[in-house]
Amino acid sequence: MCVPGRALSQKCPRQYLEQWCCLLQALVLVLALGSTIPLAEAQDKYKCPINAVYFYPCTCEGGGSEGIFMKCENTNLASIAVGLANVRIPIEELKIYRCNIHKLFGDVFKSVQIKRLVLEETPIAELSGDVLEGAAGTLEDLRLLGAPLQEMPTKALIPLRKLKYLQIDGANITSLSNDAIPRLPDLREIHLNNCGIKSITVGALSKLPKLVKIDLSRNELQSIPKGAFRNKRGARLLDLAYNNFTKLDSQYYSDLSQLTWCNMSHNQITNMGRNPFARNTVLGWLSLTHNLLKDLPSTTFRSMRHMRRLYLSDNQITKIGRGAFNGMRRRVGTIDLSRNQITEIDVKIFDDFRNVEKIILAENNISTVKKHAFKDLYLVHINISHNQISSFANESFVDCTNITVLDLSHNNITEIQKQVFVNTYMTLLHLEYNKIVDTSKIPMDFFGLKVLNMSYNEIEVIGRRTFPSLYELHTIDFSHNKIKEIGRTVFQPLFSIRRINISYNAMEELRGSVLGTIPTLLALELSHNNIVKISKGMFQSLSSLRHLWLNDNKIANMFVIPQALNYLFLQNNNISYIKPGIFPVMNALLYLDLGNNNLSDSIGPGTFNGLNTLRNLNLLNNSISTPPWEALSAMQTLQHINLKYNQIKNVTQSAFGRLPTMFTIDLAHNGIRNVSKRAFEGLLQLLTLNLSHNALLHVPNDAFRGLVALQSLDLSFNQIKSVNNKTNGLFEDLLSLKRLDLSHNVFEFVTKKMFPYHKYIPYNLQRVDLSYNNIPVLTKNLLIGLQKVQYLNLSHNILNDIRPNVLGNLSRLTVLDMSHNDLEALGTAVFGRDETLQEVYLQDNDLISLPAAVLMSNRNLTMLDLSNNELYNYYDHFVQRAVNGTTIRYEGNPVHCDCGVRPVVGWLASRLDLRNWRDVVCFTPLHLKGLSLAQIGEEDLGCSDRIGPDVQVSEDILFRELTDGRTNRARKNEDSLHFAWFVNTHEDVGGFFVTVQNLTTGVRLKEVNLPYTARYHEFSDITSGSFYICIAGVDSVGRQRTLKKGQCQEFSASGS
C-alpha cells in the first residue's frame, strides 16, 4: 500500500495515488467550507421575521450581523411603543423618521436591544431624563437629526455608559457649558452640527476621555478657549468647518498631539499665524479652503513632516513664501491652491516633493512660471489650467519624470520653448482653449505621452514635422480649430495611435497621402469641416479603422472605404450618387448613415453590393420617392432602415421585397397617400413600423398581410377615419401586435372590428393611443379586442358619455387617460371595482361629479388627476388615500371651502410636502376665496359642530372592547367596567385621558391619565345605569387633543 511520506522513488500503484489525491481534495474542500460557512452565518444571523406585521407601524428593512434594521415613519409615540413591544430580537438600527413627536419620554425603548438609534426630521424639542434607560445596556450610537432641541439632552444621556457615537444636528444650542455633556466613558465620536453654538467652556468636553473625533462644524464659533481639548490626546480628527473663526491660534490644537485630520474650511481666517500646528507633528490632512487667507509665510507649515493632503483653495492668496511647503516635501501627496489670486509660480516652490500626487493651481491669475518652479517630481498630476499663462521660463519643469497629467488648458499660450521641459515627460497633456497657431512651436518629444488635447485653439496647419517618433500616444484631439491643411503622413511616426479627432475645422480637401499608412488607427473624426473632395484610396491603408465620421461636410462623391470599418457616418453632405461596386466586399460594416444627402431615386441595383453584414441603414431626408427595394434586395442582414422625411407617396405591394431579418422600418414624414394591399409582404420578422405624419385617408384591410411578428405600429398624425369594414378589421393579420398608436386622426367611433379579436387567436394588444380624435362616446365596442390592454389614451377627444360597464371590464388596464374631453359626470358603473388601475387622468374636463367611492376602492391607485374641472366639493374618500400616498391633483376646481374640506385641511397642517396642494384654492366662501387649502386652518372654516357625521375626521382612538364585569366571566371583579382601544392616527399621541360620565345625572364619575403604552383599562365600583365613556388623545407635551365623536360611547351596566 502507498502511504504518505514514502519516497517518490518507491513506485506506488496508480490507484493509490488517485485515492490520496481524492482525499487531499476533500480535505482542502472541508477546510475551505469551514472558513467560509461561519462568515455566511454571521452575515445572515438576523433576518426580518415572517410575522413582522406585528411591528406595525414600524417596518423591518433588513437583517444584519448584529440585529435587524427597523424604520418607524409618519407615526406617533403611542403607536411606536406597541410596535417595539413586539420585537424580541436585537435591533442594529432603529430609525424614527418624520414622526409626530414633540417630547420623547416614557418606556418606549424599555427592554428593547438597540445598537443604533436615529431620530430624523422628527420635531422632538425635549428628551426626558429616563427615556433612554431601557436601551442603555446596548445603545452605542445615537443620532438626533433635525430635532429642534433647545438645550443639550444632558439627563437623557447620563445612563448611556456604552455610547460610542453621538450626533446632534439642527438643534438650537447656543453654548456648551461644563455640565452640558455628562460623563460618557466610552464615547469615540461627537458631532454637534448646525446647532448655533457660539461658545464653548473649557470643561465642556472634559468628561469624554476616549474621544477620537470632535465635530463642531456648521456653528457660530469664533474661538476655542485654551484647554478646551485638554486630556484629549487620543483625538485624531477635528472638524471646525463652517464657523466664524478669523485666525488660526496654536492654542486650539496644542493639546491634540495625535491630531491627524483637521478641517477649518469655510471660516473667515485671514492670518495663518506663525507655525500654528507646531505641536501637531503627525497631522496628515488639513483643509483651509474658503477662507480669507492672503499669503503663506515660509514658516507656516514648517513642522508638518507627516502632511499628506493640504487644501488651500478658494482663498485670496497672492504670495507663497519661498520654501513654504518644504517641511512636508517628503510625504505630501496633494497640494490644492486653486481659485486664489496667485500671479506667479516662484523658483523651487515645488522642488523635490518625493511622494506628491497632485498639485492644483487652477483658476488663479498666474502669468509666469519661473525657472525650476517644478523640479524633481515623479508621477504627479499638475493642473495649472484657467490662468493667464502666455510664457514659461526655460527649465520651468526639470526632472519631472512620468507626470501623469499636465493640464495647461484655458490659458494664453501661443508657444512653448523646448527648453521649458528638461528631462520631463508626461502621460496626458492638456493644451485646449489656448491661442496656439503653429503646432511646430509646441514640443512633442515626450517619452510616454499617451493623450494629447489641443482642441479649441487657432491652429491652421498641422505641419509634417509636428510629431517625432512616439510609441505610446494613442489619442489626439485637434477639434474646434481652424485647420485647413494637414502635412503629408504627419501621423505615421505615431506607432500606437488609436483615435484622431480633427472635427470642427476648415478642411476642404483630403488628398494624396495625408493619412498615410496607420495600421493601429481605430477611430477617425473629420466631421463638421468643409470637405468637398476625398481622393481615391484615402482611407484604404487604414486597415484597422472601425469608426469614421465624415458627417456635416460638403462631400459630393462616394469614396472607397477600408474593409475593417464598422460604422460610417456620412449624414449632412451633398452625395447625389453612389456608384455600384464602390463598396468593397466586406463583412465588417454594421452601420451606414447617409441621412440628409441628395440621393433621390439614384439608389438602384448594386448600390449597396458588398455590404454583407450591414444592419442599420439611415436614408433620412434624401428626396426618395420610391422604396429602393432593388438596392435592398441583396442586403439579407439588414435590420433597421430609416426613410423619414422623404417624398414617398405610394407604398406598393411588396414595396421592400423580401428582407428576412428586417426589424424596423420608419416611413414617417413622407406624405404617403396610398398603401397597397400586401404592401409589406416579405418582411416576416418586422417588429416596428412607423407610418406617422403622413397623408393617409384610408388603409386597405390586407395592407399588413404577412406581418405576423409586428409588435409596434404607429399610424398617428394622418387623416384616417376608419380601419375596418363590416366583416374584417385592418389589424387582424397582426398576430403579435402589442402597441398601436392611432392618435391625431379623425376617428369618430370605436367600432366592433376596430381592434383585432378572435376567440381562437390569442391577440396581445397592450397599449392603445386614440388621443386627438373626434370620439364622443365610449360603448361596449371598446371591449372587443382590448381585453389585455394595459395603457389606454383617450385624451383630447370630444367624449361626453361613457356607457356603464365598459371601462370597468378592461380587467388589465393600469393607465387610463381621458383628459381634455367634455365629460360632465361619471356614473358609479363607469369604472367598476377593478383592482388593476394605477393611474387615472381626468384633468381638463367639465366634471361636476364622479364616483369617488368606486375610484378609491382600488387599492393600487397611485395617481388621480382631477385638475381643471368644475368639482365643487372635495370628496371625503380622497383624504385617506392621500394620507396613504396616492397623488390626487385637484387644482383648478371651484372648491367650496366649508366643513366638508376640514379632513384634508387638518391633514395638510401636518404635512411637510405641499407641492400638489398649493394650487388647490378656495372659490367660495368669499372670505376664503383665492386662498389655498394649505394656507387655511380648521378654525377658518367656521364649523360649529365638530363631530357632525357628514364632516367626520378620523378618530384618534377607536374602541376594541367595552363591557361590564358581570357579562364577562374572565373578570374576577363583578363591579367593574373594562375596555380596550387602539390608536387610529399618525398625529402626535403621547398618552390618553379617559373619563366616565353618568348620562342620567351628568356627573363625571371617573377620570384618569394613562401612559401611551396602555391599551386596556378597568374602572371598579361601576353600579347599574347608563354611562358615557370617552378616550381623548394627549400629545407628547401634555396637551389634550380634540375629542371626536367616535372616541366616546354610551354604555349601560346591568344591576347586581
Nearest to 66 by CA among 100, 114, 132: 114
Using the predicted structure, report yes or no on whether residue 326 has a pLDDT greater than 60.
yes
CB 64 within 8 A of CB 92: yes
Last residue of a domain, one of 852, 869, 886: 869
Of 837, 869, 901, the residue that ends a domain is 869
Is the pLDDT higher at 33 or at 889?
A: 889
Q: How many other β-carbons are positioned within 10 Å of the β-carbon of residue 266?
A: 20
Q: Based on the domain organization, do 763 and 845 belong to the same domain?
A: yes
Task: Tell me, letter by letter, the H, E, C secondary structure of 462-502.
Answer: ECCCCCCCECCCCEEECCCCCCCEECCCCCCCECCCCEEEC
User: Does a structural domain hold residue 311?
Assistant: no
pLDDT at 35: 42
Residue 921 placed within a domain: yes
- Asked whether the predicted pLDDT for residue 912 surpasses 70, the reply is no
| The pLDDT of residue 776 is above 90 | yes
Q: Are strands 1016-1020 and 976-983 parallel, antiparallel or unpaired?
A: antiparallel
Question: Mean pLDDT over residues 969-983, rounded?
Answer: 66
Mean pLDDT to the nearest integer, 240-263: 90
d(CA 162, CA 187): 7
442 in a domain, yes or no?
A: no
Distances (CA, A) of 337 to 268, 304, 944, 1029: 17, 17, 68, 73
How far apart (Å, rounded) are the C-alpha atoms in residues 982 and 222? 52
Residue 215 three-state SS: strand
Residue whose C-alpha cell reads 481615391 in the numeric block: 536
Distance CA 354, CA 399 (A): 12
**Helices (H), ranges, 349-428:** none
On whether the CB atoms of residues 701 and 729 are closer than 8 A, the answer is yes
* 931 vs 918: CA distance, rounded Å: 9
Determine the structural domain holding residue 1024 and report its residue range: 957-1053
Are 214 and 232 contacting, i.e. CB atoms less than 8 angstroms apart?
A: yes
For 613, other C-beta atoms within 10 Å of its C-beta total 14
Residue 932's pLDDT is: 85
> Mind listing the pLDDT tens digit for each residue in 831-885?
876 678 999 999 999 999 888 888 888 888 999 999 999 999 888 778 777 777 7
- CA distances (Å), origin 987, targets 74, 456, 911: 8, 61, 10
Q: Which residues on neighbouring strands pair with residue 1032, listed in sequence order?
A: 993
Name which residue leads in pLDDT, 938 or 566.
Answer: 566
Residues 897 and 1002 in one domain: no
Q: Are 543 and 564 in contact (CB under 8 A)?
A: yes
86 and 168 fall within a common domain: yes
Which of residues 32 and 408 earns the better pLDDT score?
408
**How far apart are alpha carbons 513 and 505 in whole angstroms?**
19
Maximum distance among all alpha carbons in the chain? 119
Collapsed DSSP state (helix, strand, coil) of residue 393: coil
Beta bridge partners of 239: 215, 263
Cα–Cα distance measured from residue 161 to residue 312, given in angstroms and rounded to the nearest whole number: 40
Mark whether 861 and 883 lie in a shared domain.
no
Is residue 787 assigned to a domain?
yes
Q: Is residue 101 part of a domain?
A: yes
Q: For 514-563, what is each residue's pLDDT tens digit? A: 888 899 999 999 999 999 999 888 898 899 999 999 999 999 999 999 99
**Which residue, 926, 953, 980, sits at the end of a domain?**
953
3-state secondary structure 643-680: CCCCCCCEECCCCCCCCCCCCEEECCCCCCCEECCCCC
* Complete DSSP assignment for 948-984: -GGGPPPPSEEEEEEEEGGG-TT-S-SSEEEEEEEE-
69-102 pLDDT per residue, tens: 999 998 999 999 999 999 999 999 999 999 999 9
Phi and psi at residue 16, in whole multiples of 5°? Answer: -70, -40
**Cell 523635490 -> residue:** 352
Which of the 8 DSSP states describes residue 1043? P
Handedness of CA 90, 94, 100, 103 (dihedral sign): positive
The sign of the torsion formed by the CA atoms of 101, 104, 108, 111 equals positive
Cell numbers at 917, concatenated: 396642494
Comparing CA positions, the residue from 593, 599, 596 lying closest to residue 579 is: 599
Tell me the three cell numbers of residue 645: 422625411
> How many structural domains are present in the chain?
4
Q: What distance, in Å, lies between the first and last C-alpha atoms of the chain? A: 96
Cα separation, 879 vs 909, in Å, equals 13
CA 538 remoteness from chain centre: 46
- Residue 309 forms beta bridges with which residues? 285, 334
Q: How much is the pTM?
A: 0.82
Predicted pLDDT of residue 948: 42
Residue 839's nearest CA partner among 802, 792, 871 is 792
127 within a domain of the structure (yes/no): yes
Please list the alpha-helical segments (H only) found in 64-108. 77-85
Q: Is residue 653 part of a domain?
A: no
- List phi, psi (to 5°) of 1007: -155, 140
Dihedral angle of Cα 395, 400, 402, 404, to the nearest 10 degrees: -90
pLDDT digits (tens, 9 = 90+) for 160-200: 999 999 999 999 999 999 999 999 999 999 999 999 999 99
pLDDT of residue 10: 40
pLDDT at 804 over 50: yes
Q: Taking a C-beta distance cutoff of 8 angstroms, is the pair 215, 239 a contact?
A: yes
CB 212 within 8 A of CB 188: yes
User: What is the number of alpha carbons within 13 Å of residue 1026 lying toward its C-beta?
Assistant: 6
Hey, what amino acid is at 95? K
Averaged pLDDT, 751-774: 94
Say if residue 939 is in the same domain as residue 1048. no
Please indicate, yes or no, if residue 269 is contained in any of the structural domains: no
- Domain check: are 879 and 946 in the same one? yes
Give the CA radius of gyration of the chain.
Answer: 40
Task: Sort 447 into a burial class: Cβ within 10 Å, 0-12 / 13-18 / 19+.
Answer: middle
Percentage of the chain with pLDDT > 90? 65
pLDDT band of residue 39 (cuts 50, 70, 90) is: very low
Strands 334-336 and 344-345: unpaired
Q: Residues of 334-363 as b/e, b for ≥16 C-beta within 10 angstroms?
A: bbbbbbbebebbbebbbbebeebbbbbbbb
Q: Which range among 574-578, 785-789, 1017-1021 shows the weakest confidence by mean pLDDT? A: 1017-1021
Q: How many other C-beta atoms are found inside a 10 Å radius of the C-beta of residue 372?
A: 20
Residue pLDDT, tens place only, 1022-1042: 766 788 899 999 999 999 998
**Cis amide prior to 580 (ω within 30 degrees):** no
Give the residue from 480, 562, 561 showing the smallest Cα distance to 520: 562
Whether 764 and 865 share a structural domain = yes
The string of pLDDT tens digits covering residues 687-705 is 999 999 999 999 999 999 9
The SS3 assignment for 1030 reads strand
Residue 44 to residues 63, 64, 66, 220, Cα–Cα distance (Å): 7, 6, 9, 45
- Report whether pLDDT(32) > 80: no
Residues 795, 890 within the same domain = no
CATH code assigned at 77? 3.80.10.10
3-state secondary structure of 865: strand
Higher pLDDT, 60 or 327: 60
Residue 999: CATH number of its domain: 2.60.40.10
610's CB contacts (< 8 A; 6+ apart) are 581, 583, 584, 585, 586
Q: State the SS3 of 703-736.
A: CCCCCCCCCEEECCCCCCCCCECCCCECCCCCCC
Backbone angles phi, psi at 553, to 5 degrees: -125, -155
Burial class (CB in 10 A: 0-12, 13-18, 19+), 850: buried
Looking at residue 24, what is its pLDDT? Answer: 52
Per-residue pLDDT at 967 exceeds 50: no
**Mean pLDDT value across the chain:** 88
| pLDDT, position 1056 | 44
Q: Are residues 880 and 854 in the same domain?
A: no
Calculate the CA 33 to chain-centre distance.
39
Residue pointed to by grid coordinates 370617552: 1030
Q: What is the pLDDT of residue 4?
A: 38
861 lies in the same domain as 888: no
Query: Residue 9, exposed/middle/buried by CB under 10 A (0-12, 13-18, 19+)?
Result: exposed
Whether residue 19 is predicted with pLDDT greater than 90 in this model: the reply is: no
Domain identity same for 809 and 924: no
> What is the C-alpha separation between 45 and 65, in angstroms, rounded?
5
- Percent of the residues in the chain that have a pLDDT greater than 70, as a whole number: 92
> Residue 823: its pLDDT value, please?
95
Q: Do residues 968 and 952 lie in contact, with contact meaning Cβ atoms separated by under 8 Å?
A: no
* pLDDT tens-digit series, residues 484-501: 999 888 999 999 999 999
User: Is the same domain home to 966 and 1036?
Assistant: yes
In a 13 Å sphere around the CA of 197, the CA atoms on its Cβ side amount to 32
| Residue appearing with cell numbers 394613562 | 1010
